[in-house]
Amino acid sequence: MLLCGLLCDGILKNLAARPRPCDVNRTVHMLVARPFGWSFPSGHSASSFTLASAVWFSGRRKAGGALFVFAALIGFSRLYLYVHYPSDVLCGVLSAPSAQIRVCIWRQGRKRFADETY
């Protein structure tokens, strides 16, 4: 989750510097306070899907499936509250399993290196 947070909130948001829909169209009545920062990608979607994919890849399929449903609801809420564009949520969703896969590859590489050195 730390890797996903650093990637989304620390790097991608600053590179894309995309304003939020509520900042572009100020005529829409907001249900929540206007968030600070850039829109792309959705950090809430990325974090929730990262947790769901981590639980799923750990072998706990039933809990992971329930978390995926919850993460999808979080993604939908970002659209409903008019704080993200659909592409923000989609990229947040896609960054989660890719971060999880990178961690798995890194762990396999470390294990293989440890096995070769001893």
Residue 69: the pLDDT is 96
Domain limits of the chain?
2-12+43-117
Q: What value does the mean pLDDT take over residues 55-82? A: 91
* pLDDT tens-digit readout, 10-28: 777 777 788 899 888 989 8
Residue 83: the pLDDT is 92
Instruction: Record the tokens describing residue 14, joined without a space.
Output: 């600053």
Residue 6 has pLDDT above 70, yes or no: no
